[in-house]
Structure 1
């Protein structure tokens, strides 16, 4: 059930994603004070009968079902771009505009993205 997914499989997936990013970290480049970047990768995994997770491949341009694209784009903008950009005052005209924008950003952040690696050390 959900406890196997959260307690057994997800930790293995997070570790394998982290290790893969560490392996190519120098090729991906670092963000700096003046230059931030992000990229969406698609990871394919297999789970064996012993509940071990195996990394099959990583796609730098993953295919995404068309009906998922609008939500994915909103979530990516909210998680990766909004925090790096100051609000444009001319677009936030009233307190209700700001509230609506904040609510939309909060909803997008809850659509499944989670920071699992933000440095160079391997989590235990």
Structure 2
């Protein structure tokens, strides 16, 4: 059944009110220009890189002084080859060299274990019982 225009508008408004980052909804985030979206995602990643202690070996003195990740990608880093991932601060490295560490840290901070696999094993069990 086709949705009415009012129903479509309501669904879009609901999606736009959904939280995306701790300080921003999806609607606010999607309205930003690309560089500002990148900056907001880097702010979020900075919490994790600070937790992991990347500031201890960071090239930026501001990060080392603050004992926290404070860096943002420069225009040169956006254009560099190998490319820096635009959702992570520069301490992650070109080509996302330390990206797996950051993603594992995000899972840890989010309360998920690194080897957290789905617990349901019903299909395999049912296949074994059939034989």
TM-score interval, normalised by the smaller of the two chains: under 0.3
- Larger RCO: Structure 1 or Structure 2 (Cα < 8 Å, ≥ 6 residues apart)? 1
Query: Structure 2-normalised TM-score?
Result: 0.25
Q: Which of the pair has more CA radius of gyration? A: 2
Query: Which structure shows the bigger proportion of residues in strand conformation?
Result: 1
